[in-house]
Structure formats: C-alpha cells, structure tokens
C-alpha cells in the first residue's frame, strides 16, 4: 500500500500527504535540517511551533558522533532528540562527496577520513541502510554519489551508473516495515538523457519515493529550473518527489510549480545565525545600521516570537553584539516564514490559485524592505 496520497492538483503541482510510522506530513513540505540530531539554535518543540511536521537528520554526522549504535541503544533518534514526528535521514553521500580530498571511491563504497579526528571509516550502501535503520528513520535515502558540478557528460554518466548500482544494493538491504519508506535518488547532472535513464532504472528497482539529487550544487536557478521542467515527468505520479538541498524561497515556489513535493535546506537556519531574515518583501540584513533606531517589528503580520515580541532595533542590537538570542530569534522567524510559505502554497493548490499565488509572491519579493524611518 502506498504511503502517499494526492488530494488536489493545480497544473503540475500536487497537494498531498505522506504517512509514516511517526505521523503524517502534508505536502508540499519543507523539512528543517537537524544534521547532528538538532535543528541549530532551536528546541524541538519550537521547531514544531513553526509548523514543521518532518525534519531531516544526517547519516554521516551521526555515524561519527555519537554513533548510530549509541543512538539505537538510547531508544532511537526520535527519543534521543525529543522529536516525536517523522524524520528523514540523508544517506551521507553528499557529505562524503564534499570530503573529496579525504575519500577514496570504489565500486564497494567510500572509505574516508573523519573531518573531526582523521579516523578512517567506510560507508557502503549496506552500511548506510544499516545506520539509518538503527537511527529509526521514517524515510531512508538510498546511498548515492552526488555528481559534482560542473561535470562532463562522461563524468556524469559514470557517476550516475555507480549511483544506480548502489541504489539496487540499498533496496536489497533495506528492511521493509509498515510506515517506513526508502527513496531512490535521480542523478545525471544537467543531462536530460542521463536523468531519464536514471529515473527509469530507479522505477524498475521500485522505491516508495523519488528524490532529485545533484542540484543546488552551484548550477544556478535557471539551470535548476530547466532540469525540473522535465525530471518530475519521468517519475511515478503516485509517489512523492523530493528536491534535495533546496533552497531559497523563490526556488521552492518555482519547484512546486514544476511538480516537486518535498524540500530541505540549511538556508533558513544558517541565515538566522548570520543576521539574515527572510520576509514577504525579500531578505533583510539585521546587521545593517538602518535598523538601529527602528521600533517596528521585522514583519508586522508575522506571528513568530521575533516579530511579535521584539523590535528591529533590539534584533539589530543582539546581532551586533553577538548574543545567542539574536541567532535563536532569527532562526525561529526564518523557519516560521518557510512554513508559512509552504502553507500558502498548499492552500493555493487546494483553491486552484497557484499561479496567482506565485505571481503575488514574486511581486512582493521585488518590493524590497519597508522604508527606513
């Protein structure tokens, strides 16, 4: 039985729901990133208050510290980090790719040196599935090699075929249970024929959902949208589609218009720690001196604690002096903004008004910040 149900469509966009062992989540969905079993600067209950229903954690980081074995012994990741809702775990492939100088790639998998202490480790499709099982992930990602950008056709072809062989081994190792899903990852760089080949291979293996990998690696929005114009059409209509590592608010709106259901990105949390806030009128840098005497809220129609209880002047003060509360409040605001955006997209699809919503979103983003006092 499928864990995914589509309730409404508007163009290529879908309004749906994914069932998991730890509850359901509505799509289109944005997953805050809790790499090392924590969404940085946020308590789990605060993450839930932003409207987030599912979060992401990372195999690579958790296998190194505190170890999957320890997390399993302590009752699994949900108990360990006090997040009772669904969790998706990234397979570790992307992080290992970024360690290029410290890794050795073979048909079997990847051997690499820890970025923490230089100790040697091996990650294979089998080991990645085993780790994600110990973590008790609701959605497990197949182990893949994230194709670097730029890559020639031949480089992307070799990388994609390796990922497809690893996907098959991931599927063979994954322990199927009610409420637990395994997603395959479409690779192939910016080459349509490779993406189609990859999608067909994954469909033949058979997965519970399909991710689009190898984007948001420096190719730019136009190229990413070009790829998204065709990849979702290669994928089964009755399974969720997940765009990995994306993105800016305008990326999310554009990808939903093209038929994507799920997203994750460090941007709202990382930006919150670097003084940047996402708003209806674009991004606002709270470090800027123009906010020093401004008693107004960051956004007057936002109900997050940063906007409801504090002024721009106070937020500016916090980030200028490096107080932790500044990072906490801006992170909360950014996650709240992202979840409000997703709720708006879901409502627009339900009402058949998605293109009007997208047009309105773009108009307001281009307005720029409110006038200085």
Active site residues: 90, 264
Q: Which of 348, 367, 138 is nearest to 256 (CA)?
A: 348
Residue 15 per-residue DSSP state: E
* CB distance 320 to 287 below 8 Å: yes
Partnered with residue 278 across adjacent β-strands are 283
Pairing of strands 13-20, 23-27: antiparallel
What is the C-alpha separation between 183 and 261, in angstroms, rounded?
13
Q: If we measure between CA atoms, which residue out of 190, 204, 200 comes closest to residue 233?
A: 200
- Which strands form 23-27's sheet, in the order they lie side by side? 4-10, 13-20, 23-27
Tokens found for residue 250: 């305008």
* Residue appearing with tokens 């469509």: 9
DSSP states of 69-128: HHHHHTT-HHHHHT--S-EEEE-SHHHHHTTGGGEEE-SS-EEEE-TTT--EEEE-HHHH
| Structural contact between residues 235 and 241, judged by C-beta atoms closer than 8 angstroms | yes
Q: Up-side HSE of residue 273: CA atoms within 13 Å toward CB?
A: 8
Question: Which among 222, 214, 227 has a CA at the least distance from the CA of 250?
Answer: 222
Are 207 and 234 in contact, with CB atoms under 8 Å apart?
no
Contact 125, 166 (CB under 8 A): yes
The single-letter DSSP state of residue 142 is P
DSSP strand E in 234-336: where? 241-243, 262-265, 276-279, 282-285
């Amino acid at each position: 039985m499928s864990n995914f149900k589509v309730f409404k469509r508007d163009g290529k966009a879908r309004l749906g729901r994914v069932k998991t062992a730890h509850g359901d989540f509505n799509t289109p969905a944005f997953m805050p990133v809790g790499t090392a079993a924590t969404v940085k600067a946020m308590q789990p209950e605060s993450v839930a208050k932003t409207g987030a229903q599912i979060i992401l954690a990372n195999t690579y980081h958790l296998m190194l510290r505190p170890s999957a074995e320890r997390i399993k012994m302590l009752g699994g990741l949900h108990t360990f980090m006090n997040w009772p809702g669904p969790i998706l775990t990234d397979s570790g492939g992307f992080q290992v790719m970024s360690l290029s100088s410290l890794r050795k790639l073979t048909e079997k998998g990847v051997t690499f040196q820890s970025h923490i202490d230089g100790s040697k480790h091996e990650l294979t499709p089998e080991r990645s599935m085993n780790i994600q099982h110990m973590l008790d992930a609701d959605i497990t990602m197949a182990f893949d090699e994230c194709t670097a950008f730029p890559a020639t056709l031949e480089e992307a072809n070799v990388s994609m075929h390796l990922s497809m062989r690893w996907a098959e081994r991931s599927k063979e190792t994954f322990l199927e249970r009610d409420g637990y899903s395994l997603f395959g990852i479409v690779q192939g760089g910016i080459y349509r024929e490779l993406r189609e080949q990859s999608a067909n291979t994954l469909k033949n293996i058979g997965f519970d959902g399909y991710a689009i990998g190898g984007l948001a690696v420096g190719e730019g929005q136009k190229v990413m949208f070009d790829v998204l114009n065709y990849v979702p059409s290669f994928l089964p209509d009755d399974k969720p589609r997940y765009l990995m590592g994306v993105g800016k608010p305008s990326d999310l709106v554009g990808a939903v218009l093209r038929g994507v259901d799920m997203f994750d990105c460090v941007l709202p949390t990382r930006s919150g720690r670097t003084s940047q806030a996402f708003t209806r009128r674009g991004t606002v840098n709270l470090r800027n001196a123009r906010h020093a005497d401004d008693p107004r809220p960051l956004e007057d129609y936002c109900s997050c604690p940063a906007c409801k209880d504090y002024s721009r002047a106070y937020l500016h003060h916090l980030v200028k002096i490096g107080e932790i509360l500044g990072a906490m409040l801006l992170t909360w605001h950014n996650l709240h903004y992202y979840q409000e955006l997703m709720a708006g997209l879901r409502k627009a699809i339900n009402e058949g008004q998605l293109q009007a919503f997208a047009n309105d979103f773009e108009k307001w983003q281009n307005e720029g910040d409110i006038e200085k006092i």
